[in-house]
Amino acid sequence: MPNEVVSVNPAHPAEVVARYPVASTVDVDAAVTGASLAQRAWAEVPIPARAEVIARVGDLLAERKAEISTLVSREAGKVLAEAAGDVQEAIDMAAFVAGQGRGPFGETVPCEMPDKLAFTTRHPVGVVAMITPWNFPIAIPSWKTLPALLAGNGMVLKPSEHAPACCAAYAGVLREAGVPAELVQVVHGFAEAGAALTVHPGVRAVSFTGSVPTGRVVAAAAMEHGPKLVSLELGGKNAMVVLADADLDLVVDGALFGAFGTSGQRCTSTSRLIVHRAIRDELVARVAARAEKLVLGDPTDPATDVGPVIDERALSRIDAMVRAAVDEGARPAAGGRIVQVDSCDGAAFYAPTILTDVRRDHRVAREEVFGPVLAVIDVDGFDDAIDVVNDTEYGLSAAIYTRDVNLAMRATQRIDTGIVYVNAPTIGAEIQLPFGGTKHTGNGYREAGRRGLEQFSETKTVYVDYSGRLQRAQIDNRPPIGSEP
C-alpha cells in the first residue's frame, strides 16, 4: 500500500494537487481519541451557540467561494459552474443548519395520567465516522458535518483519495469559524483507513456515501463491531420518463444537464431516458445533436461544457459498459468512444453518449455506469414507463415530463424512489428537503432537511411525574379486570 495519498488534476494528470500521509491504525485511533475528548466539552455548549459557529462556516465559505470552487474544479474535474454549485450547497447547508439551532429538538406530548409531563429531546451520539466521496467534495462533507456539529458530536472524516485537498480546505474553514480544532479530525488514506475507522470501538455512528458494494461492506463491519448507527447513501440508476405530450425543448435541456453534468458522475445523474415511442425518434435526434456539440476540455476553462472522468480506471469501466451494451444490441446515437483532448494530455475523457435500442434487461439499463452515458428505453405509455422506472435495485431519483398534471401526480405516488421531479431532470436537490433513496440506494436514513439531524443524534424520552404519588400507566386509569363496566 502506498505511504501517501497523491491527488492529481484529472484534466492534467501530471499535475499533483496535494500529497498527504496515509493514516495508520495508530493515527486513526489518535484521531478518534482526540475527537472524543473534544466532544465532551462541545456537547456542553448551548445549541444556539453551536449554531452561531455553523453560521460563521457559511460566511467564510461564501467569502472564499471562488478560491474553493477552483480547487474543486482542479481536484475533482468539475466544470467551474458546477464546482461553484458544490460550494454553494455547503453555504446553503450552513444557513439551514444554523437556523435549526433555535428550532425544536423534540416534542411535548400529552400523558394519560394527571400531573405528568412527557417530552422528547435529542442527544449527541459521540464520535461519528464520515466517509465521503470525491464527486461532491465540499457539499457532501457539509451535509454530514454541520448537522453532526449542531447535535453536539465529534467527528473523523475520511475523504476519498481523489479529493483530499478539498476536504482539508473545508476542515480548515470549520476550524477558522470556531469549531474546536480537535473536534473535527481528518484522516487520509485508502480502504484500509476507512475500515479501521468503521470498526473503531470509539466510533458510535458511521455515515458513508459511495457505491453499493462498498456500502454493504461498511455496514456489515460497523454492525459487527457495534452498537453503531450506520447511515448509507449509495448508488442510483435514475430514470427520466418522457410522455408523448411533454415539452421537448424542456426535455432536451433537462436530459443534457441530467445525463452529462459532472460527466455523469453523480449518484443522481440521469442514466435512463424512458420515452414514449411516438416521440422517441425526434427526441433522440434532438438530444444527440446537442450532445455532439458539447465542448470537452479543462474544467477550469469557462468554455468547457464537460470535464474528464476521474481517472483511467473509471474511463475503462465506462467504455467496457458501452461496448457490452452494443454487444447486447444497443446502438450509439451519439458518442460511444474515448476522446483525446489536445489541451489535456493524459486526461480521461469520454464522449457524451446516447444509446438507443436498449432493453430493460440490458446491463446498461440496470447497473450504475457513473459516466456520461444515457440509455434510451422505448415504452408504449404511462403504466409501462412506471414499470420500467421501478425495475431496478436502486431507488434514488426519478423524473417525469408531461403536461398532464393527473399523470404527474400519479407518477409521484407510484415511482419507488426517494426523490421524484416533475418536468425537471433527476439532479438538482435542495438542502432544505431530505435527500436519499429506497431499496439498495440506502438504509432508510436521509441527509439534509430536518431529518438530516436524525442520523447524528439519539432520541431520549423524558417523563416528569409531579403528582407526588405512584401512578401506574395503563393500570390506574382503567377499571380492574372483572369489575363491572
Reference 127, options 89, 158, 102; nearest CA is 158
Q: Is 267 a catalytic residue?
A: yes
Reference 287, options 355, 197, 206, 193; nearest CA is 355
Q: What CATH class is the domain 4-234+442-463? A: alpha beta
Q: List CB contacts of 100: < 8 A, sequence separation 6 or more.
A: 51, 147, 150, 450, 453
CA distance 315 to 348: 6
At 477, the pLDDT band (50, 70, 90 cuts) reads confident
CA distance 123 to 479: 38
Beta strand 373-379 with 4-9 is unpaired
At 452, the pLDDT band (50, 70, 90 cuts) reads confident
Which of the following is catalytic: 166, 167, 267, 344?
Answer: 267
What is the pLDDT, as a whole number, of residue 454? 87
Over residues 71-129, the pLDDT tens digits come to: 999 999 999 999 999 999 999 999 999 999 999 899 999 999 999 999 999 999 999 99
In CATH terms, the superfamily for domain 238-422 is Aldehyde Dehydrogenase; Chain A, domain 2 (3.40.309.10)
* For the chain, domain boundaries: 4-234+442-463, 238-422
Over residues 398-438, the pLDDT tens digits come to: 999 999 999 999 999 999 999 999 999 999 999 999 999 99
Mean pLDDT confidence for 18-26: 96
pTM over 0.85: yes
What is the pLDDT, as a whole number, of residue 171? 97
Contact indicator for 295, 304 with CB cutoff of 8 Å: yes
